[in-house]
A and B are shown apart, each in its own frame.
Chain A
Amino acid sequence: MAEVQQNSGGDGKKGAQKKMQIRVDFTPMVDMNMLLITFFMLCTTMIKSQTLTIALPSNEKVENQENMSQASADDAVTIIIDAKRKKGSLDVDSVNGHVVNEVYYYFGKPGGDAGIFGPGGTVLSENNNIQKSEFLSDEINAAGDHNARGIRQIIQQRNKDVLEEITKIKKKYAEGGFGSLETKADREAAQAAYDQAASEIRKNENLKKPVVIIKSTPQASFGSLVEILDEMQINSISKYQIDNMTRADSVMIIDYQNRNHE
Protein backbone atom coordinates (compact mmCIF):
# COMPACT_ATOMS: atom_id res chain seq x y z
CA MET A 1 0.00 0.00 0.00
CA ALA A 2 2.55 2.48 1.07
CA GLU A 3 4.70 1.82 -1.90
CA VAL A 4 4.93 3.33 -5.32
CA GLN A 5 6.13 1.27 -8.22
CA GLN A 6 7.94 3.07 -10.93
CA ASN A 7 7.73 1.39 -14.25
CA SER A 8 10.51 1.99 -16.60
CA GLY A 9 9.57 2.63 -20.18
CA GLY A 10 10.59 -0.14 -22.51
CA ASP A 11 12.35 -3.09 -21.04
CA GLY A 12 15.72 -4.10 -22.29
CA LYS A 13 16.53 -0.71 -23.74
CA LYS A 14 19.86 0.69 -23.19
CA GLY A 15 20.18 2.94 -20.24
CA ALA A 16 16.83 1.85 -18.91
CA GLN A 17 16.13 3.01 -15.44
CA LYS A 18 16.14 0.50 -12.69
CA LYS A 19 12.80 -0.53 -11.26
CA MET A 20 12.46 1.39 -8.08
CA GLN A 21 10.23 0.83 -5.13
CA ILE A 22 9.44 3.72 -2.90
CA ARG A 23 8.18 2.70 0.47
CA VAL A 24 7.08 5.03 3.18
CA ASP A 25 7.55 3.73 6.66
CA PHE A 26 4.46 4.59 8.67
CA THR A 27 5.70 3.26 11.99
CA PRO A 28 6.69 6.65 13.47
CA MET A 29 3.35 8.05 12.35
CA VAL A 30 1.53 5.26 14.18
CA ASP A 31 3.69 5.84 17.24
CA MET A 32 2.80 9.49 17.30
CA ASN A 33 -0.90 8.80 16.78
CA MET A 34 -0.94 6.33 19.62
CA LEU A 35 0.63 8.90 21.90
CA LEU A 36 -1.98 11.47 20.95
CA ILE A 37 -4.80 8.97 21.47
CA THR A 38 -3.45 8.13 24.90
CA PHE A 39 -3.33 11.82 25.75
CA PHE A 40 -6.92 12.43 24.65
CA MET A 41 -8.20 9.29 26.33
CA LEU A 42 -6.71 10.30 29.65
CA CYS A 43 -7.79 13.91 29.49
CA THR A 44 -11.44 13.51 28.59
CA THR A 45 -14.52 12.91 30.61
CA MET A 46 -16.91 10.70 28.76
CA ILE A 47 -19.49 10.29 31.44
CA LYS A 48 -21.52 13.29 32.39
CA SER A 49 -22.40 13.40 36.04
CA GLN A 50 -25.92 12.89 37.15
CA THR A 51 -27.76 15.18 39.47
CA LEU A 52 -30.15 14.63 42.32
CA THR A 53 -32.52 17.49 42.98
CA ILE A 54 -33.56 18.19 46.53
CA ALA A 55 -35.82 20.80 47.98
CA LEU A 56 -35.47 21.81 51.59
CA PRO A 57 -38.27 23.41 53.53
CA SER A 58 -37.93 27.10 54.15
CA ASN A 59 -36.42 27.65 57.58
CA GLU A 60 -38.43 30.76 58.34
CA LYS A 61 -40.35 30.47 61.55
CA VAL A 62 -43.99 29.71 60.94
CA GLU A 63 -45.96 32.31 62.86
CA ASN A 64 -49.22 30.48 62.91
CA GLN A 65 -48.85 27.04 64.41
CA GLU A 66 -52.03 25.89 62.71
CA ASN A 67 -50.47 26.40 59.32
CA MET A 68 -47.80 23.88 60.06
CA SER A 69 -48.46 20.61 58.37
CA GLN A 70 -48.03 18.01 61.03
CA ALA A 71 -47.33 14.47 60.01
CA SER A 72 -49.69 12.26 61.92
CA ALA A 73 -47.87 9.88 64.25
CA ASP A 74 -49.38 6.96 62.36
CA ASP A 75 -47.67 7.81 59.10
CA ALA A 76 -44.39 9.16 60.39
CA VAL A 77 -41.26 7.14 59.85
CA THR A 78 -38.06 8.66 61.17
CA ILE A 79 -34.82 7.42 59.68
CA ILE A 80 -31.51 8.37 61.23
CA ILE A 81 -28.31 7.68 59.33
CA ASP A 82 -25.17 6.98 61.30
CA ALA A 83 -21.67 5.89 60.36
CA LYS A 84 -20.71 2.44 61.51
CA ARG A 85 -17.88 2.40 63.99
CA LYS A 86 -15.15 -0.13 64.43
CA LYS A 87 -13.26 0.32 67.68
CA GLY A 88 -13.35 4.09 67.73
CA SER A 89 -12.71 4.76 64.06
CA LEU A 90 -15.14 4.73 61.19
CA ASP A 91 -15.66 1.46 59.37
CA VAL A 92 -14.59 1.67 55.73
CA ASP A 93 -15.65 -0.71 52.97
CA SER A 94 -12.60 -2.64 51.80
CA VAL A 95 -13.84 -2.80 48.20
CA ASN A 96 -14.89 0.72 47.28
CA GLY A 97 -13.42 2.69 50.17
CA HIS A 98 -16.75 4.22 51.15
CA VAL A 99 -17.62 4.74 54.80
CA VAL A 100 -20.04 2.02 55.92
CA ASN A 101 -23.26 3.48 57.20
CA GLU A 102 -26.10 2.05 59.20
CA VAL A 103 -29.57 3.33 59.85
CA TYR A 104 -31.78 3.65 62.89
CA TYR A 105 -35.48 4.04 62.44
CA TYR A 106 -38.63 4.38 64.46
CA PHE A 107 -42.29 4.76 63.69
CA GLY A 108 -44.40 7.53 65.14
CA LYS A 109 -43.18 9.63 68.02
CA PRO A 110 -39.88 9.02 69.78
CA GLY A 111 -40.59 6.62 72.62
CA GLY A 112 -44.12 6.03 71.39
CA ASP A 113 -47.13 7.80 72.90
CA ALA A 114 -45.64 7.71 76.39
CA GLY A 115 -42.48 9.49 75.25
CA ILE A 116 -38.86 8.69 75.91
CA PHE A 117 -38.29 11.06 78.82
CA GLY A 118 -39.58 10.27 82.29
CA PRO A 119 -39.94 12.78 85.12
CA GLY A 120 -36.77 14.83 85.63
CA GLY A 121 -35.47 13.99 82.18
CA THR A 122 -34.67 10.36 82.91
CA VAL A 123 -34.60 8.07 79.93
CA LEU A 124 -37.28 5.43 79.82
CA SER A 125 -35.54 2.53 78.09
CA GLU A 126 -38.68 0.43 78.00
CA ASN A 127 -40.30 3.01 75.70
CA ASN A 128 -37.40 3.16 73.31
CA ASN A 129 -38.87 2.19 69.95
CA ILE A 130 -35.73 2.71 67.89
CA GLN A 131 -34.52 -0.15 65.71
CA LYS A 132 -31.45 -0.65 63.62
CA SER A 133 -31.05 -1.66 60.00
CA GLU A 134 -28.58 -1.46 57.14
CA PHE A 135 -28.36 -0.38 53.54
CA LEU A 136 -28.57 -3.63 51.60
CA SER A 137 -29.11 -4.27 47.94
CA ASP A 138 -31.85 -6.61 46.77
CA GLU A 139 -31.36 -10.32 47.09
CA ILE A 140 -32.09 -11.99 43.79
CA ASN A 141 -33.27 -15.59 44.08
CA ALA A 142 -33.04 -18.38 41.51
CA ALA A 143 -36.34 -17.37 39.92
CA GLY A 144 -35.02 -13.86 39.33
CA ASP A 145 -37.27 -12.20 41.89
CA HIS A 146 -35.94 -9.23 43.78
CA ASN A 147 -36.28 -9.45 47.50
CA ALA A 148 -35.74 -6.21 49.32
CA ARG A 149 -33.59 -6.36 52.43
CA GLY A 150 -32.54 -3.98 55.17
CA ILE A 151 -33.99 -0.51 55.30
CA ARG A 152 -35.53 -0.87 51.83
CA GLN A 153 -37.70 -3.73 53.05
CA ILE A 154 -38.89 -1.62 55.96
CA ILE A 155 -39.77 1.33 53.75
CA GLN A 156 -41.53 -0.94 51.28
CA GLN A 157 -43.67 -2.45 54.00
CA ARG A 158 -44.80 1.01 55.07
CA ASN A 159 -45.51 2.07 51.50
CA LYS A 160 -47.27 -1.16 50.50
CA ASP A 161 -50.43 0.47 49.15
CA VAL A 162 -48.63 2.76 46.73
CA LEU A 163 -46.16 0.12 45.59
CA GLU A 164 -48.94 -2.33 44.84
CA GLU A 165 -50.60 0.21 42.58
CA ILE A 166 -47.28 1.02 40.93
CA THR A 167 -46.67 -2.68 40.26
CA LYS A 168 -50.07 -2.89 38.59
CA ILE A 169 -49.38 -0.05 36.17
CA LYS A 170 -45.88 -1.39 35.53
CA LYS A 171 -47.48 -4.61 34.38
CA LYS A 172 -49.96 -2.67 32.30
CA TYR A 173 -47.09 -0.77 30.69
CA ALA A 174 -45.23 -3.97 29.86
CA GLU A 175 -48.37 -5.44 28.28
CA GLY A 176 -48.86 -2.35 26.13
CA GLY A 177 -51.72 -0.92 28.18
CA PHE A 178 -50.35 2.60 27.82
CA GLY A 179 -49.97 2.29 24.05
CA SER A 180 -47.83 0.16 21.83
CA LEU A 181 -44.13 -0.24 22.48
CA GLU A 182 -43.19 -0.84 18.86
CA THR A 183 -41.39 2.27 17.70
CA LYS A 184 -39.32 4.74 19.66
CA ALA A 185 -41.98 7.45 19.43
CA ASP A 186 -44.64 5.01 20.67
CA ARG A 187 -42.46 4.00 23.60
CA GLU A 188 -41.89 7.61 24.57
CA ALA A 189 -45.62 8.32 24.49
CA ALA A 190 -46.35 5.21 26.55
CA GLN A 191 -43.59 6.18 29.01
CA ALA A 192 -45.10 9.65 29.41
CA ALA A 193 -48.54 8.14 30.08
CA TYR A 194 -46.99 5.76 32.58
CA ASP A 195 -45.14 8.56 34.38
CA GLN A 196 -48.38 10.52 34.58
CA ALA A 197 -50.23 7.53 36.07
CA ALA A 198 -47.40 6.87 38.53
CA SER A 199 -47.36 10.47 39.68
CA GLU A 200 -51.14 10.35 40.22
CA ILE A 201 -50.75 7.25 42.38
CA ARG A 202 -48.05 8.91 44.44
CA LYS A 203 -50.31 11.90 45.01
CA ASN A 204 -53.49 9.90 45.65
CA GLU A 205 -54.76 10.95 49.07
CA ASN A 206 -56.81 7.79 49.56
CA LEU A 207 -53.80 5.55 49.71
CA LYS A 208 -52.00 5.19 53.00
CA LYS A 209 -48.62 6.78 52.58
CA PRO A 210 -45.78 7.17 55.03
CA VAL A 211 -44.11 10.50 55.72
CA VAL A 212 -40.40 9.88 55.99
CA ILE A 213 -38.27 12.19 58.09
CA ILE A 214 -34.60 11.83 57.28
CA LYS A 215 -32.10 12.74 59.95
CA SER A 216 -28.42 12.19 60.14
CA THR A 217 -25.72 12.18 62.75
CA PRO A 218 -22.82 14.54 61.95
CA GLN A 219 -20.36 11.73 61.25
CA ALA A 220 -22.53 9.92 58.69
CA SER A 221 -21.23 10.33 55.15
CA PHE A 222 -22.61 12.39 52.28
CA GLY A 223 -22.86 9.15 50.33
CA SER A 224 -25.36 7.75 52.81
CA LEU A 225 -27.54 10.84 52.48
CA VAL A 226 -27.66 10.32 48.73
CA GLU A 227 -28.30 6.64 49.35
CA ILE A 228 -31.32 7.28 51.54
CA LEU A 229 -32.67 9.85 49.06
CA ASP A 230 -32.29 7.14 46.43
CA GLU A 231 -34.35 4.78 48.56
CA MET A 232 -37.13 7.37 48.55
CA GLN A 233 -37.05 7.35 44.76
CA ILE A 234 -36.83 3.57 44.46
CA ASN A 235 -39.74 3.07 46.83
CA SER A 236 -41.94 5.84 45.40
CA ILE A 237 -42.11 7.81 48.63
CA SER A 238 -43.75 11.12 47.83
CA LYS A 239 -43.42 12.81 51.20
CA TYR A 240 -40.03 13.06 52.80
CA GLN A 241 -37.93 15.75 54.33
CA ILE A 242 -34.50 16.30 55.77
CA ASP A 243 -34.59 17.43 59.36
CA ASN A 244 -32.26 18.10 62.27
CA MET A 245 -31.57 15.59 65.02
CA THR A 246 -33.36 16.27 68.27
CA ARG A 247 -32.22 15.47 71.78
CA ALA A 248 -34.68 12.58 71.94
CA ASP A 249 -33.12 11.04 68.84
CA SER A 250 -29.59 11.14 70.23
CA VAL A 251 -30.72 9.81 73.59
CA MET A 252 -32.53 6.92 71.96
CA ILE A 253 -29.51 5.93 69.86
CA ILE A 254 -27.20 6.02 72.88
CA ASP A 255 -29.70 4.02 74.90
CA TYR A 256 -29.98 1.47 72.09
CA GLN A 257 -26.21 1.14 71.85
CA ASN A 258 -25.85 0.73 75.61
CA ARG A 259 -28.44 -2.00 75.77
CA ASN A 260 -26.89 -3.87 72.86
CA HIS A 261 -23.33 -3.40 74.17
CA GLU A 262 -22.02 -1.65 71.10
Chain B
Amino acid sequence: MGRVKIARKSTFIDMTAMSDVTVLLLTFFMLTSTFLQKEPTTVITPPSVSTEKVQETNFVQVLVSPEGKVWLTMNNDTSSSWSNEKMRMALLDKVSEIYNESHKNKVNFNVAQKQAFAKLGSFGVPLQQMGEFLDLADQQEGQTKMDKWLSGEDENPNHITGIPVSWNSDENTLNEFQMWMKALRQTENDNLAQAIKDGTGVAIKADVNTSFDIIHMVMDNLQTIHMNKFTFLTALKAGE
Protein backbone atom coordinates (compact mmCIF):
# COMPACT_ATOMS: atom_id res chain seq x y z
CA MET B 1 0.00 0.00 0.00
CA GLY B 2 1.37 3.28 -1.02
CA ARG B 3 1.22 6.15 1.38
CA VAL B 4 -0.93 9.00 0.26
CA LYS B 5 1.21 12.03 -0.16
CA ILE B 6 -0.25 15.26 0.98
CA ALA B 7 1.09 18.13 -0.99
CA ARG B 8 2.43 20.91 1.16
CA LYS B 9 0.63 24.10 0.40
CA SER B 10 1.95 27.49 1.10
CA THR B 11 -0.04 29.44 3.70
CA PHE B 12 0.90 32.71 2.13
CA ILE B 13 -2.21 34.85 1.65
CA ASP B 14 -2.03 37.50 -0.95
CA MET B 15 -2.84 40.77 0.77
CA THR B 16 -2.64 42.98 -2.29
CA ALA B 17 -6.39 43.07 -2.89
CA MET B 18 -7.06 43.77 0.74
CA SER B 19 -4.53 46.55 0.66
CA ASP B 20 -6.23 48.05 -2.41
CA VAL B 21 -9.57 48.14 -0.66
CA THR B 22 -8.20 49.71 2.51
CA VAL B 23 -6.38 52.40 0.55
CA LEU B 24 -9.60 53.23 -1.28
CA LEU B 25 -11.52 53.47 1.97
CA LEU B 26 -8.78 55.56 3.49
CA THR B 27 -8.88 57.96 0.54
CA PHE B 28 -12.64 58.26 0.89
CA PHE B 29 -12.48 59.10 4.57
CA MET B 30 -9.61 61.51 4.11
CA LEU B 31 -11.43 63.45 1.43
CA THR B 32 -14.85 63.58 3.03
CA SER B 33 -13.74 64.30 6.56
CA THR B 34 -14.21 67.54 8.34
CA PHE B 35 -12.62 67.32 11.70
CA LEU B 36 -14.63 67.54 14.86
CA GLN B 37 -14.00 70.85 16.49
CA LYS B 38 -12.81 70.51 20.00
CA GLU B 39 -15.46 72.06 22.14
CA PRO B 40 -15.23 73.00 25.81
CA THR B 41 -18.25 70.91 26.65
CA THR B 42 -20.00 68.04 24.92
CA VAL B 43 -23.67 68.52 24.20
CA ILE B 44 -26.22 66.34 22.46
CA THR B 45 -28.45 68.51 20.32
CA PRO B 46 -32.18 67.74 20.43
CA PRO B 47 -33.82 65.86 17.58
CA SER B 48 -36.09 67.85 15.31
CA VAL B 49 -38.05 67.37 12.08
CA SER B 50 -36.50 70.51 10.63
CA THR B 51 -34.40 69.68 7.58
CA GLU B 52 -32.73 73.05 7.12
CA LYS B 53 -29.01 72.51 6.94
CA VAL B 54 -26.68 74.49 9.12
CA GLN B 55 -24.85 77.39 7.47
CA GLU B 56 -21.30 76.72 6.44
CA THR B 57 -20.00 80.20 6.99
CA ASN B 58 -20.99 83.54 8.43
CA PHE B 59 -22.39 82.42 11.70
CA VAL B 60 -21.50 82.52 15.34
CA GLN B 61 -22.15 79.48 17.41
CA VAL B 62 -23.27 80.06 20.97
CA LEU B 63 -22.48 76.93 22.93
CA VAL B 64 -24.53 76.66 26.10
CA SER B 65 -23.65 74.07 28.72
CA PRO B 66 -26.35 72.55 30.96
CA GLU B 67 -24.93 74.62 33.85
CA GLY B 68 -25.51 77.84 31.94
CA LYS B 69 -21.97 78.56 30.81
CA VAL B 70 -21.54 80.15 27.41
CA TRP B 71 -18.77 79.94 24.79
CA LEU B 72 -18.59 81.46 21.33
CA THR B 73 -17.16 80.01 18.11
CA MET B 74 -16.74 82.01 14.93
CA ASN B 75 -17.33 80.60 11.46
CA ASN B 76 -16.46 83.19 8.86
CA ASP B 77 -16.45 83.16 5.12
CA THR B 78 -12.77 82.64 4.43
CA SER B 79 -13.24 83.46 0.75
CA SER B 80 -14.31 87.01 1.47
CA SER B 81 -12.08 89.75 2.78
CA TRP B 82 -13.00 88.76 6.33
CA SER B 83 -10.92 85.81 7.40
CA ASN B 84 -11.42 84.21 10.78
CA GLU B 85 -8.22 85.83 12.05
CA LYS B 86 -9.13 89.31 10.92
CA MET B 87 -12.66 88.98 12.24
CA ARG B 88 -11.51 87.83 15.67
CA MET B 89 -9.01 90.68 15.95
CA ALA B 90 -11.67 93.22 15.01
CA LEU B 91 -14.06 91.60 17.44
CA LEU B 92 -11.61 91.78 20.33
CA ASP B 93 -10.97 95.48 19.63
CA LYS B 94 -14.66 96.20 19.49
CA VAL B 95 -15.61 94.28 22.59
CA SER B 96 -12.90 95.88 24.69
CA GLU B 97 -14.08 99.27 23.44
CA ILE B 98 -17.65 98.51 24.53
CA TYR B 99 -16.43 97.10 27.83
CA ASN B 100 -14.21 100.08 28.61
CA GLU B 101 -17.09 102.49 28.10
CA SER B 102 -18.88 101.14 31.13
CA HIS B 103 -16.13 99.76 33.37
CA LYS B 104 -13.52 101.54 35.42
CA ASN B 105 -11.21 98.55 35.34
CA LYS B 106 -10.26 98.87 31.70
CA VAL B 107 -8.99 96.02 29.55
CA ASN B 108 -6.28 96.44 26.93
CA PHE B 109 -4.57 93.85 24.82
CA ASN B 110 -1.10 93.93 23.30
CA VAL B 111 -0.27 92.71 19.81
CA ALA B 112 0.86 89.25 20.92
CA GLN B 113 -2.36 88.76 22.84
CA LYS B 114 -4.45 89.84 19.87
CA GLN B 115 -2.62 87.43 17.62
CA ALA B 116 -3.18 84.64 20.12
CA PHE B 117 -6.88 85.50 20.15
CA ALA B 118 -7.01 85.38 16.35
CA LYS B 119 -5.91 81.75 16.46
CA LEU B 120 -8.46 80.58 19.03
CA GLY B 121 -11.23 78.12 18.24
CA SER B 122 -13.90 78.48 20.88
CA PHE B 123 -13.46 81.13 23.50
CA GLY B 124 -15.19 81.93 26.73
CA VAL B 125 -13.47 83.62 29.63
CA PRO B 126 -14.33 86.88 31.38
CA LEU B 127 -12.71 89.91 29.75
CA GLN B 128 -10.77 90.76 32.90
CA GLN B 129 -9.04 87.38 32.69
CA MET B 130 -8.73 87.35 28.91
CA GLY B 131 -5.21 88.84 28.97
CA GLU B 132 -3.94 86.21 31.35
CA PHE B 133 -5.67 83.54 29.28
CA LEU B 134 -4.11 84.74 26.01
CA ASP B 135 -0.64 84.91 27.59
CA LEU B 136 -0.83 81.15 28.03
CA ALA B 137 -0.53 80.72 24.26
CA ASP B 138 3.20 81.48 24.32
CA GLN B 139 3.93 79.18 27.20
CA GLN B 140 4.95 75.57 27.07
CA GLU B 141 1.91 73.33 26.66
CA GLY B 142 -0.09 76.52 26.35
CA GLN B 143 -2.76 74.93 24.19
CA THR B 144 -3.43 72.22 26.74
CA LYS B 145 -3.62 74.78 29.52
CA MET B 146 -6.04 76.91 27.50
CA ASP B 147 -8.23 73.93 26.70
CA LYS B 148 -8.30 73.00 30.35
CA TRP B 149 -9.28 76.51 31.34
CA LEU B 150 -12.04 76.60 28.74
CA SER B 151 -13.50 73.28 29.78
CA GLY B 152 -13.30 74.17 33.47
CA GLU B 153 -10.78 71.47 34.40
CA ASP B 154 -8.25 74.02 35.53
CA GLU B 155 -6.80 73.62 39.02
CA ASN B 156 -6.67 77.34 39.59
CA PRO B 157 -9.92 78.30 41.32
CA ASN B 158 -9.56 81.92 40.17
CA HIS B 159 -9.88 80.99 36.53
CA ILE B 160 -13.48 81.47 35.51
CA THR B 161 -14.84 79.43 32.63
CA GLY B 162 -17.46 80.75 30.23
CA ILE B 163 -18.48 84.23 29.20
CA PRO B 164 -20.28 85.90 32.13
CA VAL B 165 -24.00 85.92 31.42
CA SER B 166 -26.94 86.78 33.62
CA TRP B 167 -30.54 87.86 33.38
CA ASN B 168 -30.51 91.38 32.06
CA SER B 169 -33.16 93.29 30.18
CA ASP B 170 -31.56 96.71 30.49
CA GLU B 171 -29.81 97.83 27.35
CA ASN B 172 -27.66 100.30 29.28
CA THR B 173 -26.01 97.78 31.57
CA LEU B 174 -25.05 94.98 29.25
CA ASN B 175 -23.46 91.83 30.56
CA GLU B 176 -20.34 90.48 28.85
CA PHE B 177 -22.21 88.01 26.68
CA GLN B 178 -24.37 90.80 25.33
CA MET B 179 -21.26 92.92 24.75
CA TRP B 180 -19.71 90.19 22.64
CA MET B 181 -22.87 89.76 20.59
CA LYS B 182 -23.24 93.49 20.15
CA ALA B 183 -19.60 93.76 19.10
CA LEU B 184 -20.19 91.10 16.46
CA ARG B 185 -22.71 93.29 14.75
CA GLN B 186 -20.48 96.33 14.95
CA THR B 187 -17.37 94.92 13.28
CA GLU B 188 -17.71 96.12 9.71
CA ASN B 189 -18.25 92.61 8.40
CA ASP B 190 -21.38 93.14 6.31
CA ASN B 191 -21.88 89.47 5.49
CA LEU B 192 -22.08 88.56 9.14
CA ALA B 193 -24.24 91.56 10.01
CA GLN B 194 -26.67 90.58 7.25
CA ALA B 195 -26.71 86.96 8.42
CA ILE B 196 -27.48 88.09 11.98
CA LYS B 197 -30.33 90.20 10.63
CA ASP B 198 -31.70 87.24 8.65
CA GLY B 199 -31.52 85.03 11.69
CA THR B 200 -28.93 82.63 10.32
CA GLY B 201 -26.01 84.41 11.93
CA VAL B 202 -26.52 83.22 15.48
CA ALA B 203 -26.82 79.51 16.19
CA ILE B 204 -27.51 78.33 19.72
CA LYS B 205 -26.18 74.89 20.50
CA ALA B 206 -27.43 73.35 23.72
CA ASP B 207 -27.97 69.95 25.19
CA VAL B 208 -31.36 68.29 24.89
CA ASN B 209 -31.66 68.12 28.68
CA THR B 210 -30.60 71.69 29.40
CA SER B 211 -33.38 73.31 31.38
CA PHE B 212 -35.56 75.89 29.69
CA ASP B 213 -34.54 78.40 32.35
CA ILE B 214 -31.01 78.61 30.93
CA ILE B 215 -32.11 78.73 27.30
CA HIS B 216 -34.63 81.37 28.21
CA MET B 217 -31.90 83.48 29.80
CA VAL B 218 -29.76 83.29 26.65
CA MET B 219 -32.76 84.10 24.44
CA ASP B 220 -33.75 86.97 26.67
CA ASN B 221 -30.20 88.34 26.57
CA LEU B 222 -30.29 88.34 22.78
CA GLN B 223 -33.73 89.90 22.72
CA THR B 224 -32.51 92.76 24.87
CA ILE B 225 -29.93 93.72 22.27
CA HIS B 226 -32.54 93.35 19.49
CA MET B 227 -31.35 90.08 18.07
CA ASN B 228 -34.77 88.58 17.77
CA LYS B 229 -34.05 86.01 15.11
CA PHE B 230 -31.68 83.14 15.58
CA THR B 231 -31.44 79.41 15.09
CA PHE B 232 -31.14 76.34 17.27
CA LEU B 233 -28.80 73.58 16.21
CA THR B 234 -30.67 70.30 16.08
CA ALA B 235 -30.06 66.75 14.99
CA LEU B 236 -32.15 64.92 12.45
CA LYS B 237 -35.01 62.99 13.97
CA ALA B 238 -35.33 59.40 12.83
CA GLY B 239 -38.72 58.36 11.54
CA GLU B 240 -41.86 60.56 11.40
Q: Output the least CB separation between A97 and chain B (Å).
A: 8
- Specify which chain A residues have a CB less than 8 angstroms from the CB of B240 in the assembled complex: 137-138, 234
- Specify which chain A residues have a CB less than 8 angstroms from the CB of B52 in the assembled complex: 50-53
Question: Contacting chain B: which of A31-39, A108-116, A153-161, A186-194?
Answer: A31-39
Pick from B14, B15, B18, B232: contact of A226, CB under 8 Å: B232
A226 touching B212, Cβ below 8 Å: no
B15 touching A59, Cβ below 8 Å: no
Size of the chain B interface, CB-CB below 8 angstroms: 63
A54 touching B229, Cβ below 8 Å: yes
Pick from A51, A55, A83: contact of B234, CB under 8 Å: A51
Q: Output the least CB separation between B67 and chain A (Å).
A: 13
**Measured between alpha carbons, how far is A62 from B46 in the docked complex, in Å?**
34
Question: Contacting chain B: which of A5-13, A122-130, A204-212, A213-221?
Answer: A213-221
Q: Output the least CB separation between B234 and chain A (Å).
A: 5
**Measured between alpha carbons, how far is A138 from B239 in the docked complex, in Å?**
11
Q: A218-234: which have CB < 8 Å to B?
A: 218-227, 229-230, 233-234
Given the known inter-chain contacts A221-B208, A222-B211, A233-B49, please indicate yes or no for A51 contacting B232, CB distance below 8 A.
Answer: yes
B208 touching A53, Cβ below 8 Å: no
**Measured between alpha carbons, how far is A216 from B25 in the docked complex, in Å?**
48
A218 touching B212, Cβ below 8 Å: yes
A51 touching B18, Cβ below 8 Å: no
**Measured between alpha carbons, how far is A221 from B207 in the docked complex, in Å?**
9
B209 touching A51, Cβ below 8 Å: no
Q: Is B129 an interface residue (CB 8 A)?
A: no
Name the prevailing secondary structure of the A interface residues.
Answer: mixed
Q: Is A48 an interface residue (CB 8 A)?
A: yes
A37 touching B25, Cβ below 8 Å: yes
Q: A60-94: which have CB < 8 Å to B?
A: 81, 83
B29 touching A52, Cβ below 8 Å: no
Interface string of A124-148 (1 = CB under 8 A from B): 0000000000000110000000000
Q: B191-240: which have CB < 8 Å to A?
A: 199-200, 203, 205-216, 219-220, 222-224, 226, 228-237, 239-240
**Measured between alpha carbons, how far is A52 from B204 in the docked complex, in Å?**
10
Q: Is A47 an interface residue (CB 8 A)?
A: yes
**Measured between alpha carbons, how far is A222 from B210 in the docked complex, in Å?**
5
A81 touching B53, Cβ below 8 Å: no
Q: Is B128 an interface residue (CB 8 A)?
A: no
Given the known inter-chain contacts A29-B15, A59-B224, please indicate yes or no for A221 contacting B232, CB distance below 8 A.
Answer: no
B216 touching A53, Cβ below 8 Å: no
A58 touching B232, Cβ below 8 Å: no
* Chain A: CB-nearest residue to B237: A230
Question: Contacting chain A: which of B30-38, B105-113, B151-159?
Answer: B30-38
Q: Is B169 an interface residue (CB 8 A)?
A: yes
B236 touching A226, Cβ below 8 Å: no
- Specify which chain A residues have a CB less than 8 angstroms from the CB of B212 in the assembled complex: 81, 216-222, 224-225
Q: Is A16 an interface residue (CB 8 A)?
A: no
- Specify which chain B residues have a CB less than 8 angstroms from the CB of A229 in the assembled complex: 48
* Chain A: CB-nearest residue to B19: A26
**Measured between alpha carbons, how far is A234 from B51 in the docked complex, in Å?**
12
- Specify which chain A residues have a CB less than 8 angstroms from the CB of B49 in the assembled complex: 230, 233-234
Q: Output the least CB separation between B199 and chain A (Å).
A: 5
Q: Output the least CB separation between B53 and chain A (Å).
A: 6
Given the known inter-chain contacts A47-B235, A53-B200, please indicate yes or no for A1 contacting B14, CB distance below 8 A.
Answer: yes
A230 touching B50, Cβ below 8 Å: yes
Q: B60-93: which have CB < 8 Å to A?
A: none
Given the known inter-chain contacts A58-B223, A58-B226, please indicate yes or no for A1 contacting B50, CB distance below 8 A.
Answer: no
Q: Is A23 an interface residue (CB 8 A)?
A: yes
Pick from A1, A43, A81: contact of B17, CB under 8 Å: A1
Given the known inter-chain contacts A98-B209, A221-B211, please indicate yes or no for A44 contacting B18, CB distance below 8 A.
Answer: no
* Chain B: CB-nearest residue to A221: B209
B228 touching A56, Cβ below 8 Å: yes
Q: Is B26 an interface residue (CB 8 A)?
A: yes
Q: Is A198 an interface residue (CB 8 A)?
A: no
- Which 6 residue pairs are nearest across A and B when measured between Cβ atoms? A26-B15, A33-B22, A218-B213, A223-B208, A44-B33, A40-B29
Q: What are 18 contact pairs spanning A and B, CB under 8 A?
A: A33-B25, A43-B36, A44-B35, A45-B34, A49-B235, A50-B48, A50-B51, A50-B236, A57-B228, A58-B228, A217-B212, A218-B212, A220-B212, A221-B208, A222-B212, A225-B215, A230-B49, A234-B49
**Which A residues lie at the B interface, using CB under 8 A?**
1-2, 23, 25-27, 29-30, 33-34, 36-37, 40-41, 43-59, 81, 83, 97-99, 137-138, 216-227, 229-230, 233-234, 242
